[in-house]
Structure 1
Amino acid sequence: MTEEHTETGGDGTDHHATELAASRRTLLTSLGVVAALLVGLALGLLIAAMLHSDDPKAEEAPAADSAAVGFAQDMIRHHEQGVEMSTIELENGTDPQVRSMAFDILTAQSNEIGQMQSWLTRWGYPLINPDPPMTWMGHEMAAGAPTSPPAVGHDHDHGDHADHDMSSMPPGSMRPAGTDVAPMPGMATMAEMDRLRSLRGTAADVYFLQLMLRHHQGGLPMMEYAADPATVSEDYVRNLATAMKQTQDKEIAVIEQMLAERGATPLPLN
């Protein structure tokens, strides 16, 4: 007969069980991301099949410098950081409400990434934008001029989205050489991501909410631009951009309330 030993800490914590639970959470999170990406890819391919069912030439690929292509490429990168932040919160946070928000964002944005990847693959373009971010929007935000961003249909102050010169970025780069600035409006810097990874419990919950609020706010102008028929002719691109904006407007209101309930304030938009 063997005796089973369990390592416990001074507070009676079962460290082995804690490690198993953490590993299980990480595995489930990874499986959720993969599943959402596959669903998004399937939806994108379904749209392609519907568009081409009657006439194989019914849809021509948009131009490489079009808003449709630029939106898909840049929003994939923007969403990828949102997915990463949500994954970190699910691993390190403890607040059930915040973790639920993180899971919703992770699954929704992974799905949307899959859809946009399917468009770019079908159109024959790379998944990574070879040009400086947001040049497809055709205004001062892309050039780094100190001017106000376009209205995003939300009452919040979105600040100056152009406080760094994106034209200084090398082709295909998301970040000016030798700097640690946000690659696009609302996105976290490397230092901010490192800090989020280092936090645990309530501190992780609050900082995740602060970063995600700013992340959502920074992405709204791109969504609004891509939802405009005057700038994007592909209706399925406009539809997804519109759905993204509606979702993020709602989540912004919820996150602001959650921060207020926890006695925390929003971060200024970078």
Structure 2
Amino acid sequence: MTASGKAETGSANAGFARDMAVHHQQAVELSFIVRDRTEDEAVRRLAYDIINTQANQRGMLLGRLGAWGLPKCSQKAPMAWMNHDMEYTPYDGALMPGMATDTDVDRLRTAEGKAAEVLYLKLMTAHHRGGVNMAQGAADVPEDPMTARLAAGMVQGQRSEMNLMADMLDEHGVKAAR
């Protein structure tokens, strides 16, 4: 952060805002897909909650970038702001850990009923796991208190949803990792 309270383009806060906005956009996309592929009210409610929460948080992240006068995208590799050796190579559209591949998204688009529900719950669990790791990295950076609070809230909310999704998978007869 500069003395004026503005994040610098290569800062952890700016990198987090950019990367999590992309990460959240896919969660919203997956949730819209499953909402139309299932009649299970619990899955539809979860999808609705994820759509609203993550679209709202995405707006906040992009708003922070706008307030700082920074671009919404970067030429840097995803998650480079975390300052550690990331053993992840983007593939098949999955730009960051936890993101679904293009193949996974296509499979969800064609699945119906219980198959769509189970696939969605598995994809979103992995998605949240990757998101929690990224958000925890931002929560631990005290550059911008507002961004750190938002990231900490994401960690708490997504962990809670991961527990809910594990219960839902169990109800669908699928053993969920806890």
TM-score by length of 2: 0.93
How far the C-alpha of 1:181 sits from its partner, in A, is 5.7
- Tell me the residue number matched to 2:123: 211
Structure 1: which amino acid aligns with 2:77? P
Determine if the alignment matches structure 1 residue 237 to structure 2 residue 144. Answer: no
Structure 1 or 2: more helix by fraction: 2
- Give % identity: 40
Structure 1 residue 222 and structure 2 residue 167: aligned? no
CA distance in 2, matches of 1:114, 1:214: 23
Q: Distance in 1 between matches of 2:176 and 2:83?
A: 29
- Cα distance between partner residues in 1 of 2:11 and 2:3: 18
1:115-156 deviation per Cα after TM superposition (whole angstroms, max 9, x unaligned):
111111111212123210000000011xx3xxxxxxxxxxxx
Give the aligned partner of residue 29 of structure 2.
84
The structure 1 residue matched to 2:107, chosen from 177, 192, 195, is: 195
Contact 1:210–1:265 under 8 Å retained in 2: no
Which of structure 1's runs of 4+ aligned residues deviate more than 6 A? none
Q: Matched residue of 2:71: which SS?
A: coil
Structure of larger gyration radius: 1
Question: Using CA pairs below 8 Å that are at least 6 residues apart, which structure has the higher relative contact order?
Answer: 2
CA RMSD of aligned residues (A): 1.7
Q: Distance in 1 between matches of 2:160 and 2:98?
A: 17
CA distance in 1, matches of 2:143, 2:155: 18
- Does 1:114 pair with 2:59? yes
Counterpart check, 1:71 vs 2:52:
no
Task: Give the distance between the partners of 1:58 and 1:70, measured in 2 at CA.
Answer: 19
TM-score normalised over the length of structure 1: 0.62
Which amino acid letter does the alignment assign opposite residue 75 of structure 1? M
